[in-house]
Amino acid sequence: MKRLVLSDAEFAAFARLLHDSAGLAFDNSRRESLAYSVTERMRANACADVAAYLSMVTGVGGGELQALLDEVTIPETHFFRNPPQIRALRKHVLPELLRQAAGSKRLRIWSAGCSTGEEPYTIAMLLRELLPASSGWDVRIIATDISKRALAAAESARYGERAFVMTDPIDQQRFFYLDTDRGGYVIRDEVRELVEFRHHNLVTDEPPFAPGELDLVLCRNVTIYFDRTTTKRLMHRLHGCLRDGGYLFLGHAETLWQVSDAFSLVSLGDAFVYRSGDPEAERRAVLPDRRTEDEPRPTRADRRRGPLDRRLVAELGSQPAPAEPARDPIIAVRTAVAGGNYAEAADLAAEVGTATPLRSEAHYLHGLALSNLGRDAEALVVLRKAVYLDPDDGFAHFLLGVSLERTGERLAAARSYRAAAGTLGSRPFDAVAPELGGRSVAELAALCHRLALQAEGVARGEMQR
């Protein structure tokens, strides 16, 4: 069957169906990808006519709708995905949750949109590091997804090399065994027994937890396919399931900015996560640049001195001389970038970022310098902070896309390029970023569209191999 071109009416009908049944938003930029999925399903059903296929997919039973959902959903995932979040789970979140549940010995975790199972199994492995199998704890990780195809793969617990790009060989050896007969690495029972997979639609089904029952929910890289209204509703439901102080982990490109005020943004090491309510002192506003009441407000003199000088004053414990106003330290970073001194720029930006962790510009320039030094894995960490703190910074999204692509995360790169194209649109058309080769906004936005399509094409090719 040759490649299908959907008419406007056909595209609108499929997009409406997928939105209403699963919350999936298909705008024009994903039209080709939808046509590809429809072609695949029509081929599988030996159906040559789009109108006939549409009635088949909306027909009774829902069998073909499920098959189409299996086709259009994007299962990209791997073990130990998002290293900053994994570090936060390992060092802070799981030990804290276990300490808090020491009395009841009961822990409830939801991996919402678990795809082929790498995420919930990763959590189970992290828990197994802390809790031996014989510890007598009642721990359940409920892992849900709308895709039956992904869930079947998850239940099989058998994985190929691709799933291990972020896995330490020691963890691979400890939690998997190589099945030399059938091929692939299989998860050991001590990990498998903590996870229960269920078919569940996050948009239309009731959550599988009672109100306030949940300690931790991971809903990572799921809402990127939803519109804001659907995401708002889902976050409201997730919040209802979490106990006070429970944690919510979203993907690096997802934010509750203008979505929900019910959570606090917490920075744990180099990760940002959300928390229901605010039982601890470490409260952050969801709007990242809004100052909270418990942070000391800078005095007028402080503001004149700038953050790095404030830190020095605090460290030396001395009163500054009534000196001339200090320069904003970010100027030195920009000067180093402009001169191509990226190593110096990276060091300076790291200092500014440490002194003022909510200043997105510092993280952006830090990422730019690291990216120019070819240190993409490090660049990812700070660029994620930059887009988290300022979701409208198209330049930061662009750089994030570049680093993601260079580290092999092609679909994530495509999403960042699209986010860049979308947010760049809000800047003056002839604005120029000197640090990005003096490209104009219009040029950069067009480039991002092209790069997104390219990255998706390569990813598709890789998945089919």
Site string (222-241) toward ligand SAM, x via CB under 6 A: x--x----------------
- Least distance to ligand SAM from the beta carbon of 262, Å? 21
Is position 65 an interface residue for ligand SAM (rule: CB under 6 A)?
no
Q: Which is nearer to ligand SAM, 122 or 371 (CB)?
A: 122
Residue from the set 30, 38, 80, 81 that interacts with ligand SAM by CB under 6 A = 81
Q: Contact region for ligand SAM (CB under 6 A) — 69-77, 317-325, 340-348, 382-390?
A: 69-77
Task: Examine residue 141 and tell whether it contacts ligand SAM (CB under 6 A).
Answer: no
φ/ψ (deg, to 5) at 265: -85, 125
Q: What amino acid is encoded at 277 in this protein?
A: G
How far lies 457's CA from each of 33, 78, 410, in Å? 9, 20, 9
Q: Should residue 220 be labelled a site residue for ligand SAM when binding is judged by CB under 6 A? A: yes
Using rule CB under 6 A, residue 401 touches ligand SAM: no
**Span interacting with ligand SAM, options 75-83, 260-268, 319-327, 374-382, rule CB under 6 A:** 75-83
Q: Count interface residues toward ligand SAM (CB under 6 A).
A: 25
- State how far the alpha carbon of 224 is from the alpha carbons of 132, 288, 378, 443, in Å: 36, 20, 23, 25
Question: By C-beta, is 252 or 366 nearer to ligand SAM?
Answer: 252
Judged by CB under 6 A, which of 39, 73, 167, 267 binds ligand SAM? 73
Asked whether position 145 contacts ligand SAM by CB under 6 A, the answer is: yes
Judged by beta carbon, residue 37 or residue 147, the one nearer ligand SAM is: 147
Stretch that binds ligand SAM, among 18-26, 254-262, 276-284, 381-389 (CB under 6 A): 18-26
Under the binding rule (CB under 6 A), the answer on residue 23 touching ligand SAM is yes
Q: Which of 221, 255, 276, 356 binds ligand SAM (CB under 6 A)?
A: 221
**Cβ 465 to ligand SAM shortest distance, Å:** 19
Q: Where in 185-214 is the site for ligand SAM (CB under 6 A)?
A: 201-203
The smaller minimum CB distance to ligand SAM, of residues 234 and 352, is found at 234
Site for ligand SAM in 110-139 (CB under 6 A): 113-115, 119
251 counts as binding ligand SAM under rule CB under 6 A: yes
User: Which CB atom, from 194 or from 333, has the smaller least distance to ligand SAM?
Assistant: 194
What does the binding site for ligand SAM look like in residue numbers (CB under 6 A)? Answer: 22-24, 73-77, 81, 113-115, 119, 145-147, 150, 201-203, 220-222, 225, 251
